[in-house]
Structures are given as structure tokens and as C-alpha cells.
Amino acid sequence: MERISWDQYFMAQSQLLALRSTCTRLEVGATIVRDKRIIAGGYNGSIAGGDHCIDSGCYVIDNHCVRTVHAEMNALLQCAKFGVQTGGAELYVTHFPCLQCCKAIIQAGIKAVYYAADYKNHPYAIELFKMANVQVEQVESLGLQIGSLNRDKA
């Protein structure tokens, strides 16, 4: 039996994290990895203790839900909160990062971004990743059907 690749393994972790998403517009998960070890994970959702999109609806301004903190940002903030260094780490995310997350990823010293699905890939984000020498690669996922899994709201 052949094992899945490290890229598929970490992407599957990100897909599982996406199951915790509380935004109804897009379920995103992100996993930060160093030396083939997971150091943080995040999903897109509201601030701790805040209203969630699944309960109160999305709060959309200029076609963006501003109620949520993006998965990449949540993973980076988890590292900051617990004093875990991100320099030289890799990020696995279910969707191509938005422009704001791209800038945070670069500033955090992430050396590579692996994503499963294209999602409004902003040309300036692509340019910034290149300027910062951040490796960006689309990787094959295991094809988990995140949206079709039955969720328990308990």
C-alpha cells in the first residue's frame, strides 16, 4: 500500500480544519508546518465570542465578509499568541490566500505556500510572493468533500 505524500497529508489537515469554519460563503482551513510537524492551524471564523456567520449571517462590505478572520491569519495569530516562531515554516491552505493574508504570510517569514484550489488569485499577491521569494505551489488534495459532510451544530 502506498502512503499519501506529505503535501496531501498536510492539505488533508487543512481540509479538516475547514470543517470548523463558521462562514457560509467559503470554508477555508490552513495548517502551518515546520520540519514536517504541524505547529498551528486555523479556519475562517468570527472573533472569539463574536457572532458567527452560520448564526447571524455574513456581514458583507464591498463583496467581502468582514465578520470573519481568515484561516491563514488565525493560524499565524495562534503562533503569535503562543510564542511559536513562523520564520522558515510552510503554509498549507485550502484556497489561494487573499491579498491581505499574502502580506501577513510574507511578514511572518513563511517560506512556502501550498494551496489546493484557486480562489480569486490576486495578481498583486502573486507578484508579492515572487518578490519575497515565497514558493507558491498548487498541490493535489485528497478530494475530501467538505461541503457534503453532515455537520453537527452541537
Residues marked active site are found at 72
Inter-residue contact 56 to 69 (CB < 8 Å): no
Of 5, 118, 22, the closest CA to residue 65 belongs to 22
The answer to whether 140 and 117 have CB atoms below 8 angstroms apart is no
**Residue 59 grid cell:** 456581514
Query: 42 pairs with which residues across the strands?
Result: 30
Say which residue the cell 492539505 belongs to.
11
* Contact present, 104 and 72 (Cβ < 8 Å): yes
Answer yes or no: are the C-beta atoms of 31 and 91 closer than 8 Å.
yes
